Amino acid sequence: MLRAPCSRLAYFSLHRLIGSHMAKHYREFLALNSYSSQYLKELQTDRLRRLLAKTIAGIPFYRDRVQPSGNLALRDFPVLTKADIQQNFQNLMSPQIRQEYNSGKRSRSYSWLTVQTGGSTGMPTTVIHDKKFRDFNRAARLYTQYLCGFPIGTPYFKLWGSMREINDSRGSIQQRVASFLAGEIIFNAFKMEDAEIDSYIQQINNSSVEYMMAYSDAAHRMARRIAQTGRTVRPLKAVMACAGTLTEEMRRTIAKAFGGARVHNMYGSRDCGAMACECAHQSLHVLDNKVILEAVDPQGSSVPAGQPGRILVTILGNYGFPLIRYEIGDVGVLTNKLCDCGLPTQVLDRVEGRSIEFLVTTSGGYISPIYFRHLIGVVHNPGAIRRFQIVQYARDRAELALEKEPGATEASVGSSTENIRRDLIAVFGPEMKLRINVVDRIPEADSGKFIFAINKIRQPETP
Ligand SMILES: [Zn+2]
């Protein structure tokens, strides 16, 4: 196919033009296949050593917490929680980024970036990606597409959350050109009423594109609609399922709906980027050159391979804002297995996210929980909201609680509430009666788990 190499060249040229060195990192990912597991291990150890040394030397948060020694190891570093990041945001920055952050002036136009996330826990978190890590991260995302069979330039459907059409926000021209060159055909995962799903299916049938990248829950929702309506859908070769837990039932339903498509689970997050992706053999390969994943017990000690543990992520880079043993909020199972496909990385047996629930629109459509995370955690988060929880009691009645940061005033949260209300009503429907409460504390469920989206419609109506 001529389109793929031409688009790839144009895509990398566009990024080179703005100061990105993504292509170099992408070549490293493509070379992973030729590494021995021993060589990959050494590369990882080397990157870790450099990260820990640079962190101790330059990051105030760690200067107070870790004893410097010649032989620093990961276990010398404390677990980094989302609350730690919120409370020590500036102390986690390198001096240069802190200076630029506070002065509002950057030395280059293509530079570090603040990244906000609702996360899987409903606790909005802001981190910083330095310039190098932005490139590394983008290359990692491209590599996961490669693992799923559609390398850069191969056209694909992207069933993804987009605020466009909901509140009129649009990406920059540069983003739109990059998206075109990458071959993306975008379906909005935040607009998933039956009529919209049917129109996406129609577009798939009218096109010759053979791949799809999607939020797991949105792909599952589309697959269930296909099964319910008995529609014939043109088979796809592969579906890459991102952003959320992919259960075996979801995998089967999606594969069946799209004519036996291979379903690849991709594990990543906004704050850490792509971390693991399934190959054609269905092994979830950890991107060992970019991250170290640990599975630990509640005390922070490693659990044996094959047993579930809280996942801690260490990013092998991002010296400007190191994420070391970062507790991302997922539970996962690591293995000692090597995959037959020849890619010599560690393999994750599975990842289980927190339990999240779907809410419905006033006309009975479905709203991805990821929409709430994105809207409240990313789009309308002035840094004053610590956690949020939305509870739906009836199709036309819901309550949103916004827990404010200690020290934040009600007014600082209040400035966001009208925008949040407007965008929530736009999605739920105009009949929705939405109450928004700004509170000091949202209680956990009896199980101790914090669930940020709760659907109580099927239960007796007792708010
Ligand atoms: Zn494999």
Kindly state whether residues 29 and 46 are assigned to the same domain: yes
Residue 455's φ and ψ, nearest 5 degrees, are -105, 110
Whole-number Å distance, alpha carbon 33 to ligand 1 midpoint, is 10
Whole-number Å distance, alpha carbon 344 to ligand 1 midpoint, is 8
Residue 30 forms part of a structural domain: yes
Whole-number Å distance, alpha carbon 217 to ligand 1 midpoint, is 24
CA–CA dist 372, 381 (Å, integer): 12
In this prediction, what percent of the chain has a pLDDT beyond 90?
54
Kindly state whether residues 26 and 168 are assigned to the same domain: yes
Q: What is the mean pLDDT of residues 312-335?
A: 94
Whole-number Å distance, alpha carbon 149 to ligand 1 midpoint, is 13
Whole-number Å distance, alpha carbon 281 to ligand 1 midpoint, is 5
Which range, of 22-26, 203-207, 250-254, 413-417, averages the lowest pLDDT?
413-417
**pLDDT tens-digit map of 226-242:** 999 999 999 999 999 99
Kindly state whether residues 264 and 208 are assigned to the same domain: yes
CA–CA dist 77, 67 (Å, integer): 9
What is the predicted pLDDT for the residue at 458?
59
Kindly state whether residues 272 and 395 are assigned to the same domain: no
Say whether pLDDT at 461 is over 50: no
Whole-number Å distance, alpha carbon 305 to ligand 1 midpoint, is 18
Question: Can you give the CATH number for the domain in which 439 is found?
Answer: 3.30.300
Whole-number Å distance, alpha carbon 145 to ligand 1 midpoint, is 14
Helix (H, G, I), strand (E, B) or coil at 92: helix
Handedness of CA 202, 205, 209, 210 (dihedral sign): positive
Contacts of 277 (CB under 8 A, 6+ apart): 143, 144, 147, 148, 240, 264, 265, 266, 267, 284, 285, 287
Say whether pLDDT at 266 is over 90: yes
Say whether pLDDT at 343 is over 60: yes
Catalogue the long-range contacts made by 15-24 (C-beta closer than 8 Å, 24 or more residues apart): 15/138, 15/178, 18/109, 18/110, 18/174, 19/108, 19/109, 19/110, 19/131, 20/110, 20/134, 20/135, 20/138, 21/132, 21/135, 22/135, 22/138, 22/139, 22/142, 23/139, 24/135
In this prediction, what percent of the chain has a pLDDT beyond 70?
91
Kindly state whether residues 372 and 340 are assigned to the same domain: no
Say whether pLDDT at 1 is over 60: no
Band the pLDDT of 357: cuts 50, 70, 90: low
Whole-number Å distance, alpha carbon 349 to ligand 1 midpoint, is 12
Supply the mean pLDDT for the chain: 87
Whole-number Å distance, alpha carbon 251 to ligand 1 midpoint, is 18
Residue located via tokens 């469920």: 445
Q: 143's torsion region: left (phi>0), alpha (psi -120 to 50) or beta?
A: alpha
Q: Give 214 or 352, the one with higher predicted confidence.
A: 214
Say whether pLDDT at 27 is over 60: yes
Task: Give 122-157 as a DSSP string.
Answer: T--EEEEE-HHHHHHHHHHHHHHHHHTT--TTS-EE
Say whether pLDDT at 127 is over 60: yes
Whole-number Å distance, alpha carbon 276 to ligand 1 midpoint, is 11
Residue located via tokens 């730690």: 84
Residue 319 forms part of a structural domain: no
Whole-number Å distance, alpha carbon 29 to ligand 1 midpoint, is 14
Helix (H, G, I), strand (E, B) or coil at 343: coil
Whole-number Å distance, alpha carbon 95 to ligand 1 midpoint, is 40
Residue 99 forms part of a structural domain: no
Q: What is the mean pLDDT of residues 15-34?
A: 89
CA angle 154, 245, 149 (to 5 degrees): 20
Kindly state whether residues 343 and 368 are assigned to the same domain: no
Kindly state whether residues 374 and 345 are assigned to the same domain: no
Q: Give 456 or 276, the one with higher predicted confidence.
A: 276
CA–CA dist 167, 42 (Å, integer): 48
Kindly state whether residues 167 and 28 are assigned to the same domain: yes
What is the predicted pLDDT for the residue at 330?
84
The identity of residue 91, as a single letter, is: N
Q: What is the mean pLDDT of residues 175-190?
A: 80
Whole-number Å distance, alpha carbon 290 to ligand 1 midpoint, is 17
Whole-number Å distance, alpha carbon 306 to ligand 1 midpoint, is 18
Residue 125 forms part of a structural domain: no
299, 317, 352 - which closes a domain: 352
Residue 367 forms part of a structural domain: yes
What is the predicted pLDDT for the residue at 314?
98
Angle between helices 194-205 and 216-229 (to 10 degrees): 90
Kindly state whether residues 348 and 377 are assigned to the same domain: no
327, 352, 377 - which closes a domain: 352
Band the pLDDT of 385: cuts 50, 70, 90: confident
Kindly state whether residues 260 and 363 are assigned to the same domain: no
Say whether pLDDT at 368 is over 60: yes
**pLDDT tens-digit map of 71-119:** 889 999 999 998 899 899 999 999 999 999 999 888 777 889 999 886 6
Say whether pLDDT at 450 is over 90: no
Handedness of CA 37, 38, 39, 43 (dihedral sign): positive
Q: What is the mean pLDDT of residues 405-422?
A: 84
Which range, of 278-292, 308-322, 433-447, averages the lowest pLDDT?
433-447
Whole-number Å distance, alpha carbon 341 to ligand 1 midpoint, is 4
Report yes or no: 398 and 407 within 8 Å, Cβ to Cβ: no
Residue located via tokens 């789009």: 379
Handedness of CA 306, 308, 312, 313 (dihedral sign): positive
Range of the domain at 180: 3-77+130-289+335-352
Whole-number Å distance, alpha carbon 418 to ligand 1 midpoint, is 48
CA–CA dist 190, 159 (Å, integer): 9
CA–CA dist 194, 225 (Å, integer): 8
Report yes or no: 415 and 154 within 8 Å, Cβ to Cβ: no
What is the predicted pLDDT for the residue at 122?
67
Residue 88 forms part of a structural domain: no
Q: Give 368 or 311, the one with higher predicted confidence.
A: 311
Say whether pLDDT at 129 is over 60: yes
Kindly state whether residues 341 and 363 are assigned to the same domain: no
Residue 309 forms part of a structural domain: no
Helix (H, G, I), strand (E, B) or coil at 40: helix
What is the predicted pLDDT for the residue at 162?
67
Whole-number Å distance, alpha carbon 375 to ligand 1 midpoint, is 35
**Domains identified in the chain, total number:** 2
Q: Give 378 or 42, the one with higher predicted confidence.
A: 42
Question: Can you give the CATH number for the domain in which 278 is found?
Answer: 3.40.50.980
Q: What is the mean pLDDT of residues 370-379?
A: 81
Report yes or no: 221 and 125 within 8 Å, Cβ to Cβ: no
Kindly state whether residues 273 and 222 are assigned to the same domain: yes
Whole-number Å distance, alpha carbon 336 to ligand 1 midpoint, is 13
Residue 93 forms part of a structural domain: no
Whole-number Å distance, alpha carbon 146 to ligand 1 midpoint, is 13
Whole-number Å distance, alpha carbon 346 to ligand 1 midpoint, is 10
Q: What is the mean pLDDT of residues 244-265?
A: 93
Whole-number Å distance, alpha carbon 345 to ligand 1 midpoint, is 8
CA–CA dist 250, 352 (Å, integer): 13
